[in-house]
Amino acid sequence: MDDLIIAGEKFSSRLIMGTGGAPSLEVLDQALAASGTELTTVAMRRLDPAARGSVLDVLRERGIKVLPNTAGCFTAGDAVLTARLAREALGTSWVKLEVIADERTLLPDPIETFDAAERLVADGFTVLPYIGDDPALARRLEQAGCAAVMPLGAPIGSGLGIRNPHNIELIVEAAGVPVILDAGIGTASDAALAMELGCDAVLLATAVTRAQRPDLMAAAMREAVRAGRMARQAGRIPRRRYAEASSPLTP
Amino acid sequence: MKLLINGSTHDVADGMTVAQAVQTLTTATTGVAVAVNDEVVARGAWETTALRDSDRVEVLTAVQGG
């Protein structure tokens, strides 16, 4: 089987889902089911005594592995503490490391991210860092012991697709760990393109949770990731400037 | 003594434990983690860890996000 393998763990789905932006847990539950995902991110926040239901219950009932993130952290110190709290609360040493530089762009801060990654790897975490589409940083994070790298296609929630496909290809070419395209996916063709470029998986949330019909978009993403993966493995034809007849005029 | 629990000031009896502080918010003991003054307190130590005046207690859980 064509499994996704991260840190020795196998997943038959190459679509990793986020849970942000869903209007309700019911809508989220239906979307996760339609997506076929086996790995899904959650954020860590102050406990709200008034909150009803929990995203953790939804994931548990669907048998989906939980991947806590460090969303909302601006420094390596914050991210390390959040990862440790997540490990304590959820019983997993996996963490999607996310250290953002500012609220307006939500772009990842490379310096703080690298610092946090080194500290978390040393502390025994399985670290999946969210980064810009920077091949040099991706390589350094792999050398630092990260279990995957997660370059963005475009800013979080922007739906702008993959702004620099060339850099994503450079990251894929050099990587010895899974490359997971994270952030920026707007619609199914973006997810297919990520896989055609050679990414091992796609992580998305908003494109599904804020679609007019989240469950239908989730199903579309599932198919797009599969189609993109197959196309990558099949090997696309080279691009040509001029036509090439598929039926020669002379035998 | 005063504690800052998830950003709100609480007047509590001296010697309150981490477990008792968590119970002011929730009866859940799974899916929850606690930091006191930015240090994680493992669940196994909640009952035996006494808080001190002015401690900052953060009680976190997983929510939709990412």
pLDDT in tens, A45-73: 999 888 878 899 999 999 999 999 999 99
pLDDT in tens, A209-231: 999 999 999 999 999 999 999 99
A119's tokens: 């500290």
Return the ∠ at Cα A206 (arms to A200 and A212), rounded to 5°. Answer: 120
pLDDT of residue A251 exceeding 70, the answer is: no
A43 part of contact set with chain B, CB < 8 Å: yes
pLDDT of residue A247: 82
Best B8, B27, B60 member to test A by mutation, with max A CBs in 10 Å, is B60
A111 part of contact set with chain B, CB < 8 Å: no
Q: What CATH number is given to the structural domain containing B7?
A: 3.10.20.30
B38 part of contact set with chain A, CB < 8 Å: yes
Residue of A nearest to B60 (CA): A46
- In a domain, residue B19? The reply is yes
- In a domain, residue B66? The reply is no
Look up the domain containing B50 and give its range: 2-61
pLDDT of residue A192: 98
pLDDT of residue A140: 98
- Which of B6, B42, B65 faces A46 most closely, judged by CB atoms? B6
- In a domain, residue B54? The reply is yes
pLDDT of residue A245 exceeding 90, the answer is: no
Separation between Cα atoms, residue B29 and residue A211, nearest integer Å: 35
The C-alpha of B5 sits at a distance from chain A's nearest C-alpha, in angstroms, of: 10
Separation between Cα atoms, residue A5 and residue A180, nearest integer Å: 12
- Average pLDDT of the residues of chain A: 95
How many separate domains does chain B show?
Answer: 1
B56 part of contact set with chain A, CB < 8 Å: no
Helices A188-196, A214-234: crossing angle, 10 deg rounding: 20
Return the ∠ at Cα A138 (arms to A75 and B40), rounded to 5°. Answer: 35
- What chain A holds in terms of domains, given with CATH numbers, is 4-234 (3.20.20.70)
Separation between Cα atoms, residue B64 and residue B62, nearest integer Å: 7
pLDDT in tens, A3-21: 999 999 999 999 999 998 8
pLDDT > 90: percent of chain A: 92
CA dist A166 → A170, A172, A176, A197, A225 (Å) = 6, 10, 18, 9, 19
Q: Using an 8 Å Cβ cutoff, are A147 and A175 in contact? A: no
> Would you name the residues of A annotated as active-site residues?
96
> Per the CB < 8 Å rule, is B66 touching A205?
yes
Q: Is this prediction's ipTM beyond 0.85?
A: yes
Helices A135-143, A165-174: crossing angle, 10 deg rounding: 30
Q: Give the residue among A80, A68, A173, A166 at the shortest CA–CA distance from A118.
A: A80
Specify the 3-state DSSP secondary structure of A4.
strand
- In a domain, residue B16? The reply is yes
What is residue B28's DSSP assignment?
-
The C-alpha of A207 sits at a distance from chain B's nearest C-alpha, in angstroms, of: 12
pLDDT of residue B29: 78
B27 part of contact set with chain A, CB < 8 Å: no
The C-alpha of B14 sits at a distance from chain A's nearest C-alpha, in angstroms, of: 23
What is residue A104's DSSP assignment?
T
- In a domain, residue B6? The reply is yes
What is residue A92's DSSP assignment?
-
pLDDT in tens, A106-117: 999 999 999 999
Return the ∠ at Cα A110 (arms to A47 and A97), rounded to 5°. Answer: 35
pLDDT of residue A110: 98
pLDDT in tens, A165-201: 999 999 999 999 999 999 999 999 999 999 999 999 9
DSSP string for residues in A145-203? T-S-BEE-SSSTT-----S-HHHHHHHHHH-SS-BEEES---SHHHHHHHHHTT-SEEE
Average pLDDT over residues B17-39: 91
pLDDT level of residue A130 (50, 70, 90 thresholds): very high
* Residue A126, amino acid: T
Tokens 């997983």 belong to which residue?
B62
Separation between Cα atoms, residue A87 and residue A148, nearest integer Å: 18
Sheet strands side by side (includes A126-131):
A94-97, A126-131, A150-151
Q: Hey, which residues does A129 pair with through a beta bridge?
A: A97
pLDDT of residue A248 exceeding 80, the answer is: no
pLDDT of residue B30: 85
Specify the 3-state DSSP secondary structure of A58.
helix
pLDDT of residue A207 exceeding 80, the answer is: yes
- In a domain, residue B10? The reply is yes
pLDDT of residue A138 exceeding 90, the answer is: yes
A19 contact residues in B (CB cutoff 8 A):
64-66
pTM of the model: 0.92
Separation between Cα atoms, residue A226 and residue A122, nearest integer Å: 35
pLDDT of residue A73: 96
pLDDT of residue A246: 82
Q: Using an 8 Å Cβ cutoff, are A191 and A222 in contact? A: no
